[in-house]
Chain A
Amino acid sequence: MTTAAENEILVRTGPGTPMGELFREYWIPAAMSSELKADGDPMRLMLLSEKLIAFRDTNGKVGIMDHRCPHRCASLFFGRNEEGGIRCVYHGWKFDAEGNCVDMANVPPHQDFKHKVHAKAYPTRERNGLIWVYMGKRKEPPPLPEIDMNLVPAERCDIRFTQRECNYLQGVEGELDTSHVGIMHFGLQAPTDFQTRANNTRYAVSNRTPEYKIEETDYGHIYAAYRPGEPGTTYWRFGQFLFPFWTMPPINDMATNVLARAYIPMDDTHTMIVALVQKGAYGARDGQTNADNIPGASQNYPYLPNTTDWYGRWRLKLNKRNDYEIDREMQKTRSYTGIEGVQMQDQAIQESMGEILERGHEHLAPSDIMINKVRRQLIKAAQSHAKDGTVPVSVDRPDLYKNVRGGQMLAPNDVDWLEAYRRELDSHPWQSVGLKAAAE
């Protein structure tokens, strides 16, 4: 049971909120490198309910700062990005990517006080195609988390941003609930429908009522759903939660499933999903397509054109305003939801709960054990942080994020679940996963 007060702690991430302050201790993926060009247009960026502006200066350095000029609060969105900084068009004050005021153009030299003025800029890093921002209070930010898929060159990773019109936690919880796969995504499918697909998803439909193992970790939580596989084996679906908003769901066999998905609050009712997926993780034959032609299971999500609005980036063409173009005939005969696309189905069902889910209305089942434990863990961490500034160990241990994976597999019945997990990871090191696909 999650109370209304607990729900408030969980869902609010603006400045000064317990969860918002906890999230600000971590590095946050802000944009794709390709979204910003040197001396290009400044970009509106909403993160944790803060209105920010992002730009890339002449030298390629990325600046992310409060969108308001510190002089009289005019928006730097209208600014001129040129010659090593962004210049407010109101009075010509200019700021470098770190927020230093480098020119106070309307003030005579003897009255100049540019060394005392700073734009509210946040430290940024760029790594393998992803721009990160640190919105916390430390003078020296912690190291970037060593998420496998952000440690490989950009050409080995698909980076995809998608906006979801609901609170971040609904997105996270959708990933911590593997039993919906056999219902929402494949509810009308039989095991025999999975022929060419190079994974074991068929067992998720031969038995749709798994049981669970779960354990708290230094980085968050690991859990696995289990049910019978082939004779003598168990079919496992592992999933991960990593602080503060990362998940690793079992999209495919663990051997290839090197991916991570972050659910980043833009504000309390809009979320940016940042998916980092090893090229080839869906299987060399499968790629981003649906090799079995399972109705509704395509992996293709057309975007609306990006706009410069605060909520204008990476919106999907199918969205809540058009009911995701639900097809009732398809729902009757071919696909459980009648909505095309696995991610669209997730999007529809999570947004359908309302912008901020009222958790007091729920009735959690044993299948929701991971959701429940992660909520407890987040609340506890936010409260400890609010009380005395204690941060989870994961803030300062980037290595904890390395070699963590979700995925599915068959394992002999007599092998312990975590032992099976470790063996599978060791047999398929993340560094080499997908190399062949990338080469092709």
Chain B
Amino acid sequence: MTTAAENEILTRVGPGTPMGEFMRQFWIPALKSDEVKADGDPVRLKLLCEKLVAFRDSSGKVGIMDHRCPHRCASLFFGRNEEGGIRCVYHGWKFDTEGNCLEMANVPPHQDFKHKVHAKAYKTVERNGLIWVFMGDQANVPPLPDLEANLCPAEQMDINFQMRECNWLQAVEGEIDTSHLGFLHYGQATPDTASRDINAYSMINRAPEYVAQDTDYGLIYGAHRPGRKADELYWRMAHFMFPCWTMPPLDTLQANVSARGYVPLDDENTMLVFLFKNDIRPEEDARERAERAGGWDFNYLPNTTDWLGRWRLRENKANDYLLERDLQRNFNYTGIRGIILQDQAITESMGEIVDRTFEHLAPSDMAVARTRRMLLRAVQEYQDTGKLPALAANPKLARGVRGGAFFAPKATDWQEAYKGELAQAPLEQRIAHPQAAE
């Protein structure tokens, strides 16, 4: 049972809110590298309810700062990005990517005080196609987490951003709830190719049981149901990682190098940052099932320069995701085409911020309930003592955290089974990238 007061703590992320301050102690994925070009257009960027502007300077360095010029608060979105910094078009004040004022063009030299003025800039790091920002204390910036899906070279990875029109936590909770696969996505699919497709076991038995365990990066949990033979279990393992990451079981554990971050733009809009190794593809035999689910394709609207104008989907709540009732009756469980859209539709349909006092959680929601408790505890502890989960200061704890499906003997402890499976996974993705913190 989540109370209204707890729901407020969990969902509000603006400056000064308990969850907002907690989240600011972690690195946050902000943009794809190709969204900002050297001396290109400044990008409006909303993160944790703050209005920011992002740009790449002449030398390729990325700056992310409050969109207001520290002079008279004109928006730097209208600024000129040129010659190593962004210049406010109002009075010509110019700032580098770290927020230093380089020039105070409308003030005579003897009155100049540019060394005393700083734009409110945040530290940024770029790694394998992803731009990260740290919005916490700029004097104490931790290393980037060793997130496997962001340690692989950019050419091996797909990075997709998608905006979702609801609070970040209900999006996260959609990922730590694996049993919906057999309904929302595969409710009208049959397990007829079970011998070839590991996902088919989610259709043979759609009502799994769960185990979960707190970790120093967040939570690991697994859904289990009967496997190929009597003494075997079929596991779907998944994780929640602070502050807003999930590793859902999209494929076998050995193949599934992926992560999804649900980054709050504000309390009612979220950017899904989806990193996945681009050789994850459905097997031939699973094609029909993939088609019933609607596949992984989706369509974007053209990006705009609006605060909420990036990576919106063409099928969205304004058009009911182009729901087709005939398709729903005869072929696909939702009548909505595409796995991403189905998740999008169902989590947005709960309202912009779901009223959790209306819910009735089931045993299948074990990871959802435990993640909420863990977040509430972690936020409270940070408020009381300033202490953060170990991951915040130790990037190595993010290593070896994969979701995925596998079989294991019933007799084997589930966490041992997970470690055993992970030990057999190709390890090259877990070799530290030169840019990774060591």
Q: Using a CB–CB distance below 8 Å, which chain A residues touch chain B?
A: 41, 66, 68, 70-75, 77-78, 80, 82, 89-92, 104-109, 111, 113, 116-117, 308
The A-contacting residues of B in range 357-377, CB under 8 angstroms, are 358-365, 368
Q: How far is the CA of A88 from the CA of B363 in the complex (A)?
A: 17
Shortest CB–CB separation between residue B94 and chain A, in angstroms? Answer: 46
Instruction: Take A89-B187, A91-B179 as given contacts and tell me if A105 and B206 are in contact as well, using a CB distance cutoff of 8 Å.
Output: yes
Instruction: Take A91-B180, A105-B183 as given contacts and tell me if A111 and B350 are in contact as well, using a CB distance cutoff of 8 Å.
Output: no
Q: How far is the CA of A376 from the CA of B335 in the complex (A)?
A: 50
A92 and B209: CB pair below 8 A?
A: no
Q: Which residue of B320, B333, B351, B360 has the most chain A CB atoms within 10 A of its CB atom?
A: B360
A90 and B183: CB pair below 8 A?
A: yes
Which residues on B sit within 8 Å (CB–CB) of A82? 329
Shortest CB–CB separation between residue B354 and chain A, in angstroms? Answer: 5
Shortest CB–CB separation between residue B227 and chain A, in angstroms? Answer: 16
Tell me the nearest residue of chain A to B351, going by C-beta.
A73
A selection of 30 A-B contacts at a CB cut-off of 8 Å is: A41-B325, A68-B350, A70-B358, A71-B361, A72-B350, A73-B350, A74-B349, A75-B346, A75-B349, A78-B323, A78-B334, A78-B336, A78-B346, A78-B349, A80-B328, A82-B329, A89-B334, A89-B346, A91-B177, A91-B179, A91-B183, A91-B362, A106-B206, A106-B362, A107-B362, A107-B363, A108-B207, A108-B209, A111-B209, A308-B320
Tell me the nearest residue of chain B to A113, going by C-beta.
B362
Which residues on A sit within 8 Å (CB–CB) of B141? none
- Prevailing SS type, chain A contact patch: loop
Q: Which residue of B182, B207, B335 has the most chain A CB atoms within 10 A of its CB atom?
A: B207
> Is B345 part of the contact surface with A, judged by Cβ < 8 Å?
yes
The A-contacting residues of B in range 309-329, CB under 8 angstroms, are 320, 323, 325, 328-329
Which residues on B sit within 8 Å (CB–CB) of A70? 358-360
Residue-wise, chain B 223-267 has the 8 Å CB interface mask toward A (1 for contact) of 000000000000000000000000000000000000000000000
A89 and B362: CB pair below 8 A?
A: no
Partner of A91, one of B173, B350, B364: B364
Partner of B333, one of A72, A73, A80, A109: A80
Q: How far is the CA of A111 from the CA of B183 in the complex (A)?
A: 18
Shortest CB–CB separation between residue B319 and chain A, in angstroms? Answer: 10
Tell me the nearest residue of chain B to A114, going by C-beta.
B362
B320 and A90: CB pair below 8 A?
A: no
Which residues on B sit within 8 Å (CB–CB) of A308? 320
Residue-wise, chain B 184-224 has the 8 Å CB interface mask toward A (1 for contact) of 10010000000000000000001111000000000000000
Given A70-B360, A91-B180, 9 more contacts at CB 8 Å? A71-B361, A72-B359, A73-B350, A75-B349, A91-B183, A106-B183, A106-B206, A108-B363, A111-B209
Shortest CB–CB separation between residue B399 and chain A, in angstroms? Answer: 32
> Is B438 part of the contact surface with A, judged by Cβ < 8 Å?
no
Partner of B360, one of A74, A80, A117: A117
Shortest CB–CB separation between residue B360 and chain A, in angstroms? Answer: 5
> Is B137 part of the contact surface with A, judged by Cβ < 8 Å?
no
B207 and A106: CB pair below 8 A?
A: yes
Q: Which residue of A77, A107, A117 has the most chain B CB atoms within 10 A of its CB atom?
A: A107
Q: How far is the CA of A117 from the CA of B208 in the complex (A)?
A: 20
A111 and B359: CB pair below 8 A?
A: no
Q: Give 10 nearest A-B pairs by CB, closest first.
A: A75-B349, A92-B183, A106-B179, A73-B350, A108-B207, A111-B363, A74-B346, A89-B334, A73-B354, A70-B360
Shortest CB–CB separation between residue A418 and chain B, in angstroms? Answer: 50
Which residues on A sit within 8 Å (CB–CB) of B285? none
Partner of B180, one of A77, A106, A117: A106
> Is B279 part of the contact surface with A, judged by Cβ < 8 Å?
no
> Is B381 part of the contact surface with A, judged by Cβ < 8 Å?
no
B173 and A72: CB pair below 8 A?
A: yes
> Is B83 part of the contact surface with A, judged by Cβ < 8 Å?
no
The A-contacting residues of B in range 288-324, CB under 8 angstroms, are 320, 323
Which residues on A sit within 8 Å (CB–CB) of B349? 74-75, 77-78
Tell me the nearest residue of chain B to A44, going by C-beta.
B320
A71 and B350: CB pair below 8 A?
A: no
Residue-wise, chain B 328-356 has the 8 Å CB interface mask toward A (1 for contact) of 11000111100000100111011100111
A89 and B359: CB pair below 8 A?
A: no
Shortest CB–CB separation between residue B201 and chain A, in angstroms? Answer: 14
Shortest CB–CB separation between residue A319 and chain B, in angstroms? Answer: 19
Which residues on A sit within 8 Å (CB–CB) of B182? 92, 106
Q: Which residue of A66, A71, A74, A308 has the most chain B CB atoms within 10 A of its CB atom?
A: A74
Shortest CB–CB separation between residue A112 and chain B, in angstroms? Answer: 9
Q: How far is the CA of A111 from the CA of B208 in the complex (A)?
A: 10
Shortest CB–CB separation between residue B208 and chain A, in angstroms? Answer: 7
Q: How far is the CA of A71 from the CA of B209 in the complex (A)?
A: 17
A68 and B362: CB pair below 8 A?
A: no
Shortest CB–CB separation between residue B297 and chain A, in angstroms? Answer: 19
Which residues on A sit within 8 Å (CB–CB) of B342? 89
Shortest CB–CB separation between residue A36 and chain B, in angstroms? Answer: 13
Q: How far is the CA of A117 from the CA of B347 in the complex (A)?
A: 21
Residue-wise, chain B 369-405 has the 8 Å CB interface mask toward A (1 for contact) of 0000000000000000000000000000000000000
Which residues on B sit within 8 Å (CB–CB) of A91? 177, 179-180, 183-184, 362, 364
A71 and B346: CB pair below 8 A?
A: no
B184 and A107: CB pair below 8 A?
A: no
Which residues on B sit within 8 Å (CB–CB) of A68? 350-351, 358
Instruction: Take A72-B359, A73-B355, A78-B349 as given contacts and tell me if A106 and B328 are in contact as well, using a CB distance cutoff of 8 Å.
Output: no
Q: How far is the CA of A398 from the CA of B345 in the complex (A)?
A: 43
Which residues on B sit within 8 Å (CB–CB) of A71? 359-362
Which residues on B sit within 8 Å (CB–CB) of A66? 358
B183 and A73: CB pair below 8 A?
A: no
Instruction: Take A72-B173, A73-B351, A73-B358 as given contacts and tell me if A78 and B345 are in contact as well, using a CB distance cutoff of 8 Å.
Output: yes
Q: How far is the CA of A89 from the CA of B328 in the complex (A)?
A: 10
Which residues on A sit within 8 Å (CB–CB) of B320? 308
Q: How far is the CA of A300 from the CA of B347 in the complex (A)?
A: 42
Tell me the nearest residue of chain B to A71, going by C-beta.
B360
Shortest CB–CB separation between residue B358 and chain A, in angstroms? Answer: 6
Shortest CB–CB separation between residue B356 and chain A, in angstroms? Answer: 8
Which residues on A sit within 8 Å (CB–CB) of B351? 68, 73
Q: Which residue of A72, A104, A105, A107 has the most chain B CB atoms within 10 A of its CB atom?
A: A72
Q: How far is the CA of A439 from the CA of B290 in the complex (A)?
A: 57
Q: How far is the CA of A73 from the CA of B346 in the complex (A)?
A: 9
Tell me the nearest residue of chain A to B364, going by C-beta.
A106
Tell me the nearest residue of chain A to B333, going by C-beta.
A89
B350 and A108: CB pair below 8 A?
A: no
Which residues on B sit within 8 Å (CB–CB) of A74? 346-347, 349-350
Which residues on B sit within 8 Å (CB–CB) of A109? 207
Q: Which residue of B183, B206, B209, B368 has the most chain A CB atoms within 10 A of its CB atom?
A: B183
